[in-house]
Amino acid sequence: MLLTPEIIPNAYTPPPRRLLGPGPSDISTRVLQALAKPTIGYLDPSFVGMMEELKTLLRYSFQTKNALTFPVSGPGSAGMEMCFVNMVNHGDKVIVCRNGVFGGRMVENVERCGGKAIVIDDVWGQAVSPQKVEDAFKQHPDAKVLAFVHAETSTGALSDAHTLCKIAQQYGALTIVDAVTSLAGVPVLVDEWGADAVYSGSQKCLSCTPGLSPITFNERAIAAVKARTQKCQSWFLDLNLLLGYWGETTRTYHHTAPTNSLYALHESLLVLQQEGLEQSWARHRSNHEALKAGLAVLDIHYVVDELARLPQLNAIHIPTGVDDKAVRAAMLQQHGIEIGAGLGALAGKIWRIGLMGYSSRVENVIACLGALEAVLVSQGYQCQQGRAVAAAYQSYAQQALV
């Protein structure tokens, strides 16, 4: 006997939101319309042509000439895992920089691959220390890989990828770089850095639907993967198998690609190309400066020192006596604005305000500051409503004069 279905009367309609957390970011109507285009087969010649365009557009965003540049069918975590399961063999030493949650996930990946993680810890909210990396290589000159997070989403800290990659090269090690939150928000210069494997996410500064991980491998990384004597522990993420689907000359079946999501990524990358990378970086910086000016008036302070601070991911200390969950709930329920909570050791201590991709707009900065003022006042926090918004407008005016 068939079970009687529970009646659901209507299709789901999500409530209106401004996504100002650590991701996903707002998606423009243009990208949403691309997502709704008719589905075709993933081996259709037309789709294959679009795949080639996707690879070209991603090379621009990563600033690389790497032939093997494509979107993994999965979120940034899948991109991370693809790098480790292909580039780390059982017994390999891997130097891992841990200055937040996602550096910790890298350690977990090394261990699951049977590698030995040489962990370099930095205080959460600080950039990775190049000196500590140098010291680790001196102690472990046989390390095969250096892995680090360029933009640590859990803290808003930006590390010096160029310097870290150069240190690894001096010791003959490959690099795995997490650029999930940095791509299109701050410079990601894969070829200039000499980074070997770099992955990102579609839902951050690219403002596409979640579920894809742009990734790029240079020739050194590919040679290491092809030279493996151990079978990759993941069939789905085995790069040698995927070369047959995303390679230059062949298109053999590997998995059912998320065609509509790839349409959306193609469109979001077109938007980025049309705006220009440098203009995108400048827009993220401009809106960060305005938000920073408003937060200063509210006497709210950043977790990260200015020189290592991400403009697109603003990690700020929760004022003393303010209820973390109550503020975030009121922001969401009363103002339709999502901001992020702290993770791990910073849970309940910080908020994370994302100004990424299409979310990085003047109207979102103003709305966020106005709502935050109102909610804080309702909790008894001493601040004069309107001053934070006024400070943001003044910041924009000053920027226009420069």
**Which residues lie below 8 Å from residue 90, measured CB to CB, with a gap of 6+?**
113, 114, 115, 230
On whether the CB atoms of residues 156 and 303 are closer than 8 A, the answer is: yes
Q: Give this prediction's pTM.
A: 0.96
List, for residues 171-187, the tens digit of each pLDDT value. 999 999 999 999 999 99
Q: What is the mean pLDDT of residues 282-304?
A: 98
Higher pLDDT, 43 or 96: 96
Yes or no: say if 244 and 92 are a contact pair by the CB < 8 Å rule.
Answer: no
Tokens at 303, concatenated: 């977790």
pLDDT at 251: 67
Q: For 94-121, b where at least 16 C-beta lie within 10 A, e where not — what string?
A: bbbbbbbbbbbbbbebbeebebbbbebe
Distance CA 118, CA 102 (A): 16
Q: What is the pLDDT of residue 250?
A: 62
- Which residue ranges form the domains of the chain, and what is each CATH number? 29-273 (3.40.640.10), 276-401 (3.90.1150.10)
pLDDT, one tens digit per residue, over 314-356 is 999 999 999 999 999 999 999 999 999 999 999 999 999 999 9
The token pair at 232 is 């990759």
Q: Is 295 left (phi over 0), alpha (psi -120 to 50) or beta?
A: alpha
Chain centre distance of CA 239: 21
- Residue 244 has φ and ψ, to the nearest 5°, of -75, -20
